[in-house]
Amino acid sequence: MKTGIAHLYIPGPTNVPDAVRQAMNVPMQDMRAHDFGAQWIGLFNDLKGLFRTVDGTVMLFPGSGTAAWEAAITNTLNPGDRVLMARHGQFSTLWVEMAERLGLEVDVVDVDWGQGTPATEFAARLAADRKGQIKAVFVTHNETATGVTSDVAAVRRAMTDTHHDALLFVDAVSSLASVDFRMDDWGVDLAVSGSQKGLMCPAGLGVLGVSVKAMAAAQTATMRRAYFEFKDMVNLNAGGYFPYTPPTQLLHGMRCALDRIKAEGLDNVLARHARLAEGVRRAVAAWGLELVAEHPSLYSNTVSAIRVPADVDAREVIRIAYDRYCLSLGSGLSRLAGKVFRIGHLGDLNEGMALTALSVTEMAMAEAGVNIRFGSGVAAAQHWFSTGRMAGAQVNVAAE
Amino acid sequence: MKTGIAHLYIPGPTNVPDAVRQAMNVPMQDMRAHDFGAQWIGLFNDLKGLFRTVDGTVMLFPGSGTAAWEAAITNTLNPGDRVLMARHGQFSTLWVEMAERLGLEVDVVDVDWGQGTPATEFAARLAADRKGQIKAVFVTHNETATGVTSDVAAVRRAMTDTHHDALLFVDAVSSLASVDFRMDDWGVDLAVSGSQKGLMCPAGLGVLGVSVKAMAAAQTATMRRAYFEFKDMVNLNAGGYFPYTPPTQLLHGMRCALDRIKAEGLDNVLARHARLAEGVRRAVAAWGLELVAEHPSLYSNTVSAIRVPADVDAREVIRIAYDRYCLSLGSGLSRLAGKVFRIGHLGDLNEGMALTALSVTEMAMAEAGVNIRFGSGVAAAQHWFSTGRMAGAQVNVAAE
Amino acid sequence: MKTGIAHLYIPGPTNVPDAVRQAMNVPMQDMRAHDFGAQWIGLFNDLKGLFRTVDGTVMLFPGSGTAAWEAAITNTLNPGDRVLMARHGQFSTLWVEMAERLGLEVDVVDVDWGQGTPATEFAARLAADRKGQIKAVFVTHNETATGVTSDVAAVRRAMTDTHHDALLFVDAVSSLASVDFRMDDWGVDLAVSGSQKGLMCPAGLGVLGVSVKAMAAAQTATMRRAYFEFKDMVNLNAGGYFPYTPPTQLLHGMRCALDRIKAEGLDNVLARHARLAEGVRRAVAAWGLELVAEHPSLYSNTVSAIRVPADVDAREVIRIAYDRYCLSLGSGLSRLAGKVFRIGHLGDLNEGMALTALSVTEMAMAEAGVNIRFGSGVAAAQHWFSTGRMAGAQVNVAAE
Amino acid sequence: MKTGIAHLYIPGPTNVPDAVRQAMNVPMQDMRAHDFGAQWIGLFNDLKGLFRTVDGTVMLFPGSGTAAWEAAITNTLNPGDRVLMARHGQFSTLWVEMAERLGLEVDVVDVDWGQGTPATEFAARLAADRKGQIKAVFVTHNETATGVTSDVAAVRRAMTDTHHDALLFVDAVSSLASVDFRMDDWGVDLAVSGSQKGLMCPAGLGVLGVSVKAMAAAQTATMRRAYFEFKDMVNLNAGGYFPYTPPTQLLHGMRCALDRIKAEGLDNVLARHARLAEGVRRAVAAWGLELVAEHPSLYSNTVSAIRVPADVDAREVIRIAYDRYCLSLGSGLSRLAGKVFRIGHLGDLNEGMALTALSVTEMAMAEAGVNIRFGSGVAAAQHWFSTGRMAGAQVNVAAE
């Protein structure tokens, strides 16, 4: 019999704010009523603001981020198209797999898990593509498996510098509304996200930002699609309606979540993520452990993937945290299984919650055999969180 | 400012029972926790019971029934496959359109909207198909647009009689758990449904029953697919897990809904739908109006599509019911627009709710100009509902 | 296994709007936080608006309307005080009983159940009270047991005409926000209500309006009290706080309910109650049955108490409605048991809901042996509701 | 704009488990329906189990614990009765005040705030009361203001030793279901509690355990009462009904809460409270701070009242925790204001939550000027929580 809060620190689905849960607890509605659509026009507009796009179009697909991945591909590409993708973590790997399943010819660049999208290598390949055979470039903005944030702007620069007009696909599933994302500035054509990460809603909606260029490509793209057809969406969304029964509760939840983001201010949301993430990273350093991300410039503000010592199984840390302390950590995926656990620190979070994760993780690590000094990571994070807030100078920090 | 219950009598999404809403009001969960899967094994088993299949497999796709339509097609057929479909309403028409979009060669049989799947014509076409070029036969079990329930068993008999081994696809979106559906008895290979009809949950899950034969077909089918890939689902569902973040709240809602169906008993659920539907039909008869369904053998127990007199616009009836009386009726779709309104009478319903729909509809019709005697339809339904329950013989029914 | 809406037509607790349920679904709060109080100041102000008082004070007692009855008495009267009360229904009878238990000397005027407060007799008694021994006059504004609304203004006039300065207590439990209630205009000193009637919230809060004169009386009143002490309440309420842990969820619910009343407009709320109540009364007339209320001037717009024929047990009507049709009616209380059933038509209601009550009641009555023509009451109500809304003249009403 | 969990560590209302919130989210019910009562019989029985009484009676008063205090007094005592009470904190002080307001003659024993009920002094007074003028002895089992748990058994022994037959009143508001409480073993006659502490429900129900002896006293007690009358309650509770509209949602919540306590096992619940409380106390020791409770035998397992250094205002600690870190602490009440803050650690709690409170409190203290080593208290608690759970011996604890 577990008691108390089920502490959720996986990198998604994230904690749903109580206000969002309230907003979702509504009876079903008549989704063809004449006043149904009006309530959702603003939702699409506000999502555009989150993507930082002015002329782009945002669509919501009932399903997951994976559904939005597929919608992006099938609406804008043709069977057999050559595309450029990198593999540097489990999610970028799965995206490659999807592209192949859907019949694309994928130029894969494999880099270490812990690296970001290799913009330089991409630049070289794009430069070499004299005939413009590469129809799309894919970037996983925030690789959730490794806690690595890639430099989308650098990829765009590589494309610009090589005068390449491929479409730019970006997986922003775990970055939207958590890490700075700039669809228009970076010239992103297809920006894929989902409801259950920075948007603080339950899973169930794939969110897709589509540029004007991508909308044009969709006019002629011949890949087979039906459920994910852009034009069905766009036609009906214009009035706030949907081509098939929408998950209305989720729409209400997202409305509430966007209101919260507005009230906090997007820049403040991003700053908060950065602050809380830095607290976690200082704890990791105090523990003497390493992140999977190989360089500070790659550190993700939404998730930290932490390597445990070689003689400890990270799965044991996760199991102990869950079974004994009712706290969920992210597991190491695929080749990182057993070597890594992850702390998700995105969405509806505050300092106390970050410290909860750290203090329980310290116990779970210690009990799993990691040589950890109790309170050390917590103290490092507290110090960081308290910086500049001290009444005087009399504080001694344990971690120092 | 509307007050009181928002009366919902569209044929889906249907009214979500309070117990289901309660069950869904939970925080997000760790969908990779070691004890997460165990809670869903029974869900899949119970869904098999609803489909009345023993060896079939049930899958849940985040999305709508439309998503399950697509999953069924793309996993079991090959590009360019010839399939046999009928068009006799908006939803069967949309399914044809999807099949064509996905690259199938569709033999379409058009019949009047108001007719069911033409089993005899299907038999003839199957008999003529000496070379077995028809790879699949599609039946819309309950055409929600016209309120017509087709005879799936007759189609199966046609296939058996012609020794045809095409796959049998059935759209059971608005029949599952409302109208008798027998996957194994009728040899249905792909049975498509959704969460938001007889299953009494919000929209958001496509439900798909897959026969052993269809599972085998999926091994070799070459149609492109990724998000909807059966094998990803099956592998993970075996342990109660999902290939992508599932909409956990909906799973909890469905668990509760299935418990309710169990407690009532599936046969009782079907009998209740039949009883309530008959009450609505008696009201329609008392009003002197006609159903779109052309013969009693086709009457749907989940929705009645009702023709208004030629001099009245059915949209006006719907508008008045909604604007003045806070009651949603289904509209006439496509060629039935303006000629028809629909009363959904499926899911979590009782006599009082059916009478609510009828009494408000009488007012809306009268106010829209239909020559209606107030109370006449209500009385006919009351008489039917009260049959055999009278204390004595002193009752005079207005409708008689 | 019951299915569908549990139709609730008792005269309280009433149906809680979904928006109110949403608003209440919040975690516990720190009721001593520095920003806790600010959110409730407006609540007290808006309640004053509902009571139509400018200088009065409104208090919320955790408990029921009965708690507010007691708070009103114990704070403003002295042991052994003589008070003037009428008995004309179960609730006025219970109030007399409470007054006696609390040690007041009650001058009881018994009138028929079905009559209102006897203002003329009260006038006579007040005129006869030369020494001003009567310290308080009690009026049950809306006697929920009989469906009788009394004329509070007439009692005030009787007091004015006799220059009597007793305190005027009014039970507005089932009238506030449903029937016109004017605390200041009528010189009401203690106005008692509760959360679970016209305020559309769950039970749990007694609501009390206190005049300036009553507040002054509380300064010297010597009746024993502690939990209900006005001054504890007033001191803390001034800042939006409470002397003991308040039921915060209910406060949020009431906030939402008041917002709804504001949005509709109090006058519109009252007009709606009058319109729906008249529909019910026309149905009763069409059935050939009689109300307990003896004169149209006494008809309550919140509840109708309906006499069944002598050879029928009203409890059987209620039982059938509940067991067979999942609809709750109010029972006949005390001496009316078995002779009367009641339809509550207050709070969050619309025409469709009123018709639901009527149509199911017709079946329950018929099945219990009442000679009822099906649809007759429904038609009478429909006719009333549709008045002036007809498109043309072609409508024939069954009830005519 | 606050984000994340609103961390609630006041000593009540406590955190309501999600399952309880789910259970409460129901529409209103017909509280006179023939099947309404049956669902609550078990609730009363289970509450008896919590009180550890076999022959006692449990009643639920809509209201707060304060309401139950008053119900206990007014039903069993007579005006002017002499009673023996101690004052050693704000709540025992308020109870004295209530007793005086209600007309009892109170023998008050004042002891230091931080001491428990003075059983020895009580014994002396009882021994001196040769004529048996003391009609009741009051014990505040858990003084929430000071974090002191008194020895009820010792008071009972004092009564037994002096052959005194006064009634024994115990305030178990913040001890029931959190600290060992034994109504029958200790011969408690009136045990007062509330829904919002160990019972993990929102505020709104006073819970009262009444012994056979107290029930007998209620037959003849002459103190005025009406709303709180035992016999009204008992008569109706027997069938699961209530004398006035009950707060049904709270009853459902309590049903769920009791199911959770059953599933965990009452002894396990108490052990968990002891374990978590000890963690907090070890943190306090590590901080070099003192509890208000003057001796370990008095330490409360539900709340710790912590003294801050003389040069710091405890209100500032509380304000910072709330404003900067969204965490609510209990304040110092009355004479302890500014000198003390309190951490509530009762109800639905786990280790992670205790650590959240400690880690945020460390920051709030440091920022308010307390000389605190970051992580020190957290480490002490972690060490305690991890005791016996280590995989090996390689752990060094920062606090050591």
pLDDT tens string B171-223? 999 999 999 999 999 999 999 999 999 999 999 999 999 999 999 999 999 99
pLDDT of residue D394: 45
What is the percent of chain B where pLDDT is above 70? 98
pLDDT of residue C395: 42
**Chain C nearest CA to B142, separation (Å):** 22
**Chain A nearest CA to C18, separation (Å):** 7
pLDDT of residue D391: 64
Take residue B203 and report the two structure tokens written for it.
Answer: 């929209």
Take residue B226 and report the two structure tokens written for it.
Answer: 């990724």
pLDDT of residue A244: 87
Identify the contact set of chain A against chain C, taking CB-CB distances under 8 A: 18, 21-23, 25-27
Q: Average pLDDT of chain D? A: 96
Contacts of A27 in chain C (CB under 8 A): 18
CA distance A222 to A201: 33
Q: What is the pLDDT of residues B259-299, one digit of tens each?
A: 999 999 999 999 999 999 999 999 999 999 999 999 999 99
Instruction: Look up the pTM and report it.
Output: 0.96
Q: Residue D386: closest CA among chain A residues belongs to which residue?
A: A363
Q: What is the pLDDT of residues A249-294, one digit of tens each?
A: 999 999 999 999 999 999 999 999 999 999 999 999 999 999 999 9
Domain boundaries, chain B: 7-12+265-390, 19-262
Q: Domain A19-262, what fold?
A: Aspartate Aminotransferase; domain 2 (3.40.640)
**Chain D nearest CA to C71, separation (Å):** 10
User: What is the b/e burial string over D221-234, where b = at least 16 CB atoms within 10 angstroms of the residue's CB?
Assistant: bebbbbbbbbebbe
Would you say how long chain A is, in residues?
Answer: 400
Grade residue B78 by pLDDT with cuts at 50, 70 and 90. very high
Contacts of A34 in chain B (CB under 8 A): 319, 322
**Chain D nearest CA to A112, separation (Å):** 32
Contacts of B21 in chain D (CB under 8 A): 25
Contacts of B22 in chain D (CB under 8 A): 22-23, 25-26
Q: With beta carbons less than 8 A apart as the criterion, state whether A72 and A192 touch.
A: yes
- Classify D71 as helix, strand or coil: helix
Contacts of A355 in chain D (CB under 8 A): 355-356, 359-360, 378
Q: For residue B177, give the nearest of B152, B156, B194, B190 by alpha carbon.
A: B194
Helices C376-386/C351-368 angle, 10° precision: 160
C63 or A149: whose pLDDT is higher?
A149
Which of D35, D64, D75, D250 would best serve as a mutation to test chain C binding (most C beta carbons within 10 A)? D64
* Residues lower than pLDDT 50 in chain D: 393-400
Q: What is the pLDDT of residues C248-306, one digit of tens each?
A: 999 999 999 999 999 999 999 999 999 999 999 999 999 999 999 999 999 999 999 99
Contacts of A25 in chain C (CB under 8 A): 21-22, 25
Of the CA atoms within 13 Å of residue C345, those in its CB half-sphere come to 31
Q: Average pLDDT of chain C? A: 96
Task: Check A248 against B101: CB less than 8 A apart.
Answer: no
| Stretch B333-341: mean pLDDT | 98
Is pLDDT of B396 > 80?
A: no
**Chain A nearest CA to C191, separation (Å):** 33
CA distance D85 to D67: 18
CA distance D376 to D358: 10
* Residues lower than pLDDT 70 in chain A: 391-400
Q: For residue A387, give the nearest of B204, D168, D366 by alpha carbon.
A: D366
pLDDT of residue C131: 96
| Stretch C22-47: mean pLDDT | 95
Q: With beta carbons less than 8 A apart as the criterion, state whether B132 and B167 touch.
A: no
Rg (CA), chain C: 22
Domain B7-12+265-390, classified CATH 3.40.47.10, yes or no: no
Task: Check D16 against C28: CB less than 8 A apart.
Answer: yes
- Classify A236 as helix, strand or coil: helix
Contacts of A27 in chain B (CB under 8 A): 6, 8, 15-16, 21
| Stretch C355-384: mean pLDDT | 98
Chains that touch A (3 or more CB pairs under 8 A): B, C, D
Is pLDDT of B385 > 90?
A: yes
Grade residue B392 by pLDDT with cuts at 50, 70 and 90. low
- Classify A63 as helix, strand or coil: coil
End-to-end Cα separation, chain A, in angstroms: 39
**Chain A nearest CA to D119, separation (Å):** 35
Take residue C226 and report the two structure tokens written for it.
Answer: 């502690």
User: What is the b/e burial string over C50-75, where b = at least 16 CB atoms within 10 angstroms of the residue's CB?
Assistant: bbbbeebbbbbbbbbbbbbbbbbbbb
Task: Check D247 against C204: CB less than 8 A apart.
Answer: yes
pLDDT of residue D1: 85
Chains that touch D (3 or more CB pairs under 8 A): A, B, C
pLDDT of residue A396: 45
CA distance B117 to B87: 8
Contacts of C253 (CB under 8 A, 6+ apart): C16, C20, C21, C23, C24, C195, C201, C202
Task: Check D5 against A25: CB less than 8 A apart.
Answer: no
Under 8 Å CB pairs connecting chains B and C tally to 198
Chains that touch C (3 or more CB pairs under 8 A): A, B, D
**Chain D nearest CA to A102, separation (Å):** 40
% helix / strand / coil in chain B, to the nearest 5? 40, 20, 40
Q: What is the pLDDT of residues C152-184, one digit of tens each?
A: 999 999 999 999 999 999 999 999 999 999 999
Chains that touch B (3 or more CB pairs under 8 A): A, C, D
Rg (CA), chain A: 22
Task: Check C396 against B373: CB less than 8 A apart.
Answer: yes
Q: For residue A384, give the nearest of A282, A274, A285 by alpha carbon.
A: A282
Contacts of B374 in chain C (CB under 8 A): 375, 378-379, 382-383, 386, 395-399
| Stretch B106-135: mean pLDDT | 98
Task: Check C26 against A25: CB less than 8 A apart.
Answer: no
Helix H or strand E segment including A167: strand A167-171
CA distance B254 to B177: 12
pLDDT of residue C149: 98
Task: Check A356 against D353: CB less than 8 A apart.
Answer: yes
Task: Check B22 against D27: CB less than 8 A apart.
Answer: no
Concatenate the DSSP letters of all residues of C317-353 into one string. HHHHHHHHH-EEEEEPPGGGTTTEEEEE--SS--HHH
The beta-carbon neighbor of D18 closest among B18, B21, B26 is B26
Take residue A170 and report the two structure tokens written for it.
Answer: 């970006």
Identify the contact set of chain B against chain D, taking CB-CB distances under 8 A: 18, 21-23, 25-27
Task: Check C224 against D224: CB less than 8 A apart.
Answer: yes
pLDDT of residue C391: 64
Contacts of A242 in chain B (CB under 8 A): none
ipTM over 0.85: yes
Task: Check A27 against C18: CB less than 8 A apart.
Answer: yes
Q: What is the pLDDT of residues B10-39, one digit of tens each?
A: 999 999 999 999 999 999 999 999 999 999
**Chain A nearest CA to C390, separation (Å):** 22
Task: Check B375 against C351: CB less than 8 A apart.
Answer: no
Take residue B229 and report the two structure tokens written for it.
Answer: 């890939």
Distance of CA D180 to CAs D139, D153, D196, Å?
15, 11, 17
